[in-house]
Amino acid sequence: MEDKAQIQEAIKIQGEVVRKLKSEKASKEQIDEEVAKLLELKAQLGDDGKTQFVLKTPKGTRDYNPKQMAIREKVFNTIIRCFKRHGAETIDTPVFELKETLTGKYGEDSKLIYDLKDQGGELLSLRYDLTVPFARYLAMNKITNIKRYHIAKVYRRDNPAMTRGRYREFYQCDFDIAGQYDAMIPDAECLKIVHEILNELDLGDFRIKVNDRRILDGMFAVCGVPDDKFRTICSTVDKLDKMSWEDVKKEMVNEKGLSEEAADQIGEYVSMQGGMDLAERLLQDHKMSQSKQACAGLSDIKLLFKYLQLFHVTDKVVFDLSLARGLDYYTGVIYEAVLTQAGTVSAANEAQNDTNAEESVSVGSVAGGGRYDGLVGMFDPKGRRVPCVGVSIGIERIFSIMEQKAEASPEKVRTTEVQIMVASAQKNLLEERLQLISELWNAGIKAELMYKKNPKLLSQLQYCEEAGIPLVAILGEQELKDGVVKLRVVATREEVDISRADLISEIKRRTEA
Amino acid sequence: MEDKAQIQEAIKIQGEVVRKLKSEKASKEQIDEEVAKLLELKAQLGDDGKTQFVLKTPKGTRDYNPKQMAIREKVFNTIIRCFKRHGAETIDTPVFELKETLTGKYGEDSKLIYDLKDQGGELLSLRYDLTVPFARYLAMNKITNIKRYHIAKVYRRDNPAMTRGRYREFYQCDFDIAGQYDAMIPDAECLKIVHEILNELDLGDFRIKVNDRRILDGMFAVCGVPDDKFRTICSTVDKLDKMSWEDVKKEMVNEKGLSEEAADQIGEYVSMQGGMDLAERLLQDHKMSQSKQACAGLSDIKLLFKYLQLFHVTDKVVFDLSLARGLDYYTGVIYEAVLTQAGTVSAANEAQNDTNAEESVSVGSVAGGGRYDGLVGMFDPKGRRVPCVGVSIGIERIFSIMEQKAEASPEKVRTTEVQIMVASAQKNLLEERLQLISELWNAGIKAELMYKKNPKLLSQLQYCEEAGIPLVAILGEQELKDGVVKLRVVATREEVDISRADLISEIKRRTEA
C-alpha cells in the first residue's frame, strides 16, 4: 500500500507537469512525452488511476472493527472495574500538548514525537505517553495528591510492527497515585492491582519482577561504575531480557568503556532473584551494604514484600536485580509483569526486534511501572515535588492475546447485545412491528427489526442466527387477533405464545444472565 | 494565557539575539541594549521569566478533571445504552487520516483542518468529523450495511469559544445506519433515538425539526433559483435560525444575485411549519407539485410521520421548511433537535457568533443529521453507492448543560464509587487494615484506605465525608479480639459491630442501589 501511495503522489506531480506544459502552450512533442510518462505511472496502479486516492489508514494505524471493539470493551471494563474498586478517579487531557511540554522528557526517543504543522499559533505535538501530561496537569492545577487512571491513545513515529501488535497509534492505560505518603503502601497497591487485573483477564500464568532504582545505582557505585555512567549502564542492564549476559557485558565493556572487573561484579548481582530473603541477604552483603542508597532500596523492598504478603500476592512476585526499565524518570521501586506461558511466542519474537523499552520491555511484558518522585517538579515553577507511583497496563499486547484467543475459540464474539428481533410471519405487518419494537425499546429491551416492509421470515431468523440474537418475537395475523406474540428461542427453535401484557417481563426473564 | 505564551516566545527569540551578539563579540553597548529588551520582556511575565515553559493546554483545548469526567461518563452511558438498545455495533478509526482522504469533503471549512508536520512519509491530518472516516471505512472494507455508533474526539482550528462550550478538540457522538433499505424506516429510527436520548438526559423540552434536501431543491427550482445557485442559496436559508428573514433575503438578493421575486417566493415557503398535514397540503400546492424532486421528498416526509406516529414521538417533531443544515453531502431527509426552554441562553448567545453550521446550527441545537446517500461512493473506486442516514448528538453542548446543572444542584458529584473506607481507631494497625482491604477487594468491594501507618480516626472520617464514601469499617484492638469490625454509616454516624464472616454480605446489602 505504501508503494501505491508513492505512485499516487508521483501521478499527482506528473499531472501538474502536464498541466503546466499545456498552459504554457508547450510543443505537442514535449506534451506527448510527459503524458506518456503520466500514463505509465497510472498503468502501474493497475486500475488506470481511476482511484483519486488510496483507501487506507495512515502507516502504523488501524481501524477497529466491531468484533475488535467488543473485545476491547471487555478488556477495558475489567481493567476499569479494578481501578474503580481501588477508588481511582479518572481524568482526560488533550491529544496534543504544547511542543515545549514534551521537550526534554523522553531523551533519544524525542525523535519519535509527532509534531503538528505550524499553521500559525502555538507549536503542538501529539502526546507520547500519558505520564508527562499527567505531571503537567498536576503542576498546572497545583494538585498534590490524587489517585487517577487515564486510558487514552498515544502517538509514536516508531517503526510499526503491526502483525505483532505494535502501532504508531496505541492505547495506554495508566493508574497512578500521587502524594506524600508512608513508604511502600501505594507502591504495594499498584502491584496488587496488576495481580488482580492479570488474574481476572485470565491470560495464563505471570510473574511480577520488582527492583529499585536506588539498588541499581548503589550496586553500580559499589561495583565501581563512574557516576556519569549510571544511566547508560542501566540502559544496558535493561537489555538483559532480550540479550544474553555475554552480549550485555560486551556492550558494557566495549561500547561503554566499563572495566571488565566492574562488569563481572555487576554480572554477579544481576543474576540474583528471590524474595524478601534476598533483600535481607543483600543488606548483609559486605559490598552492597556500603551504599546508603542500596540499603534504602533494600529496606523498602523488604517492606514491600511484607505488605504483599498481607495481600497474598507474593506467589507471583520476584525480586529481580536484573530489572532496570527504560525510562529515566524512575527514582525508586520499579516493576514489570511478564506472561510466563508458552503461547506468547509471537510476543517473544517481537521483543527481539524491539527498540522501545517502555512498550515491550521483555518477553511477554504486559504491565510495568514504578516510582517517579521528580517528574512533577520538572513542571512546577517552584520545583515543588509531588511523589508519584504508577503502573501502565500493556493493553495493546493484551488486546492481541485476547483477539487470538477469540479467534481460536469456537464461541462467536457477539458485536451487539440485542436480546430480541421483532419479526413478522406475513406481509404488510411493518406498522405492527414498528409499534411493538417501540414498546420494547421504551421498556429498555435491546431489539432490532429488519428495515424492509415485507421481509421473509426465513431471512429474519437467519439474521438472528448470524448475529447471535437469542429470541424472536413473531407477529402474524392470528397472533394479532389473539393479542399474543409468538416467542421463539433461536437456539432450540422452541416457540410459545405469550400475551402482549406479559411479553416484556418474559423477555427480561429469559435474557437476564 | 495566550499573551503569556506570546511573551515567552518573544523572550526565546530575544534570548537568541543576545546569545548571537555575544558569540559574535558585538559591542557592549549593543549587547546591553538587547539585554535590556530581554529583561523588559521577562518583567512582563511577572515571575522574572523563571518558568521554563508556560503551563497550559493548547489553545481551544482543556483537561477534564475528575468531576467533569464523572458527568461525561454518565452522559456517555445514557447515550451508549440507547445506541445498544437499537442494536448498534461500534467501530473506531485513527485520530489522523491521510490528508487526501479529507480533501474535498468540507468545502470552505477545509481551512480549519489540522495538518501534521511533514516528518517524512505520508501527509496526515487530524480527523475533522467522524462521518468522512466512516465513509472511508465502509468503502475500504467494502461494507454495504452496518448500524454503528462512534464516539470520539475531532479537531477543528476554529475560533474557540470555550466559556460557551466550543473547543478545538471536542467529542462527536454519531449513530449511522448504512444500507439499501425500504424508505424512511432507518430514518424514523434515528429520530426515535434522538427522542429517547433527549428524554432520558432530561435536558428540558425540545423540538425536532425535519425537512428534506429534495424539498428544498424542488422549492428552489419552482421559485426560479438557477440550478447552479441551489447550494449557495441553501446555505443562506440555513442562517434563518440566526438571522431575520429580512437579512436572509438581503443576502440572497444583494450578495447572491437572486431576483427579489424568487426570494419572496422562497420566503413564503420557508415560513411554513407543520406536520403530516403540511406535507399533504404542499403535495397539492400548484407550484410545489410541479417539482418531481419536491414531491418525492414530501411523500417521504408523509411516510416518516406515519412511522413516527407508531413510535409515539410526533409531539416533538415538526416539519419545518426553513431547516437547511450546513453540510453539502445531505441528499434526503434532514433533521435537527433544539432545546426550547429558557436556561439555554448561553447556548443562544453562542449561536449569534457561530460560523460553524454543523456544531451549533441553531439556538440550543443538541442533535442533527440526515440522509447522505452519495458520500461512500466518493471513496469507492467504482463509485458504488451505500445509502446512509445518521444522527450526531451534540455532546459538548450537553456536557455544558449537565455541568451547569451539577453546579447549581446542592448534591455533590461523586468522582469515585468507593463503598467503604477501611479505617483504624488506634495506632499500629496498618497490617490489619491491609489484610482486611485485600479481602474486600477480592470480594469485588470498592474500598480505600489512607496511605499512612497511623492515620487519625478523625481524618479518616473526614475524608469519607468529603469523598461521599457511605461506609467505614473501623478496626480497633477490641474488634480484632472479638473477630468483628465496627461498621459506621457516615451519614447517620450509626455504628454496629459485624462479624468478619458477615462483613462482605453486609456491605453489599447496604450499598446496592
Confidence of residue A358 (pLDDT cuts 50, 70, 90): very low
Task: Write the single-letter amino acid at A107.
Answer: G
Query: Which member of A5, A84, A92 has the closest CB to residue B64?
Result: A92
Q: What is the DSSP letter of A501?
A: H
Q: How many residue pairs from chains A and B have C-beta atoms closer than 8 A? A: 251
Q: Cβ separation of B91 and A119 shorter than 8 Å?
A: no
Each residue's pLDDT tens digit, A218-265: 999 999 999 999 888 988 998 888 889 999 999 999 999 999 999 999
Asked if pLDDT for residue A49 goes beyond 60, the answer is no
Is the Cβ–Cβ distance between B269 and B275 less than 8 Å?
A: no
Contacts of A100 in chain B (CB under 8 A): 52-54
Each residue's pLDDT tens digit, B43-74: 666 554 444 568 999 999 999 999 999 999 99
Q: ∠A291-A296-A297 over CA atoms, to 5°?
A: 100
Lowest mean pLDDT among A58-62, A128-132, B17-21: B17-21
Q: Cβ separation of A94 and B182 shorter than 8 Å?
A: no
Each residue's pLDDT tens digit, A412-453: 899 999 999 999 999 999 999 999 999 999 999 999 999 999
Work out the number of other CB atoms within 10 angstroms of the CB of residue B215.
28
Mean pLDDT of B70-90: 97
Asked if pLDDT for residue A175 goes beyond 70, the answer is yes
Q: Cβ separation of B157 and A119 shorter than 8 Å?
A: yes
- Give strand ranges (E) for A145-290: 146-155, 169-178, 206-212, 273-274
Best B6, B57, B379 member to test A by mutation, with max A CBs in 10 Å, is: B57
- What pLDDT does B235 receive? 87
Best A65, A371, A507, A508 member to test B by mutation, with max B CBs in 10 Å, is: A65
Average pLDDT, chain A: 89
Confidence of residue A354 (pLDDT cuts 50, 70, 90): very low
Query: Which member of A8, A196, A306 has the closest CB to residue B441?
Result: A196
Q: Cβ separation of B116 and A117 shorter than 8 Å?
A: yes
Please give the Cα distance from A374 to B282 (Å, whole number). 72
Each residue's pLDDT tens digit, B107-143: 778 899 999 999 988 999 999 999 999 999 999 999 9
Q: Cβ separation of B192 and A438 shorter than 8 Å?
A: yes
Best A434, A436, A472, A475 member to test B by mutation, with max B CBs in 10 Å, is: A434
Contacts of B508 in chain A (CB under 8 A): none
Q: What is the radius of gyration, based on Cα positions, of chain A?
A: 30
Asked if pLDDT for residue A393 goes beyond 80, the answer is yes
Please give the Cα distance from B164 to B359 (Å, whole number). 12
Asked if pLDDT for residue B258 goes beyond 80, the answer is yes
Model ipTM value: 0.84
- What pLDDT does B160 receive? 73
Burial (CB count within 10 angstroms: exposed 0-12, middle 13-18, buried 19+), residue B385: middle
- What pLDDT does A129 receive? 94
Mean pLDDT of A131-148: 95
Asked if pLDDT for residue B177 goes beyond 50, the answer is yes
Q: What DSSP string runs through B175-242?
A: EEEES--STTHHHHHHHHHHHHHHHHHT---EEEEEEEHHHHHHHHHHTT--GGGHHHHHHHHGGGGT
Work out the number of other CB atoms within 10 angstroms of the CB of residue A36.
10
Please give the Cα distance from B339 to B18 (Å, whole number). 58
Mean pLDDT of B334-345: 76
Confidence of residue A53 (pLDDT cuts 50, 70, 90): low
In the numeric block, which cell numbers belong to residue B121?
512519509
Asked if pLDDT for residue A343 goes beyond 60, the answer is no
- Picking from A141, A126, A176, the residue whose alpha carbon sits closest to that of residue B67 is A141
Please give the Cα distance from A292 to A215 (Å, whole number). 9
Confidence of residue A43 (pLDDT cuts 50, 70, 90): low
- Picking from B471, B205, B442, the residue whose alpha carbon sits closest to that of residue B340 is B205
Pairing of strands B388-393, B169-178: antiparallel
- What pLDDT does A163 receive? 62
Q: What is the DSSP letter of B385?
A: -
Query: Which member of B116, B139, B307 has the closest CB to residue A434?
Result: B307
Mean pLDDT of B283-297: 96
Each residue's pLDDT tens digit, B461-481: 999 999 999 999 999 999 999
Confidence of residue B41 (pLDDT cuts 50, 70, 90): confident
Contacts of A149 in chain B (CB under 8 A): none
Mean pLDDT of B240-253: 92
Please give the Cα distance from A114 to A96 (Å, whole number). 9
Task: Name the one residue in this structure whose C-alpha cell is 511523589.
Answer: A387
Average pLDDT, chain B: 89
Q: Which residue of B has its CA nearest to A4?
A: B122
- What pLDDT does B110 receive? 87
Q: Cβ separation of B116 and A116 shorter than 8 Å?
A: yes
> Cα-Cα-Cα-Cα dihedral of A442, A448, A451, A455, to 10°?
-120
The CA-atom distances, in angstroms, between A344 and each of A164, A166, A241, B76 are: 11, 15, 15, 36
Contacts of A51 in chain B (CB under 8 A): 381
Confidence of residue B482 (pLDDT cuts 50, 70, 90): very high
Q: Which residue of A has its CA nearest to B63?
A: A93
Lowest mean pLDDT among A301-305, A387-391, A399-403, B18-22: B18-22
- What pLDDT does A3 receive? 62
- What pLDDT does A20 receive? 80
- What pLDDT does A360 receive? 37
In the numeric block, which cell numbers belong to residue B266?
422562497
Q: ∠A445-A448-A451 over CA atoms, to 5°?
A: 150
B172–chain A nearest CA distance, Å: 15
Task: Write the single-letter amino acid at B494.
Answer: E
Mean pLDDT of A81-99: 98
- Picking from B146, B116, B150, the residue whose alpha carbon sits closest to that of residue B133 is B150
Q: Going by C-beta distance under 8 Å and a sequence separation of 6 or more, which residues neighbour residue B439?
A: B504
- Give every strand in the sheet of B169-178, ordered side by side: B89-90, B146-155, B169-178, B388-393, B365-371, B333-339, B206-212, B317-320, B273-274
B155–chain A nearest CA distance, Å: 10
In the numeric block, which cell numbers belong to residue B430?
496498618
Confidence of residue A398 (pLDDT cuts 50, 70, 90): very high
Half-sphere exposure (Cβ direction) of A273: Cα atoms closer than 13 Å: 10
Asked if pLDDT for residue B354 goes beyond 60, the answer is no
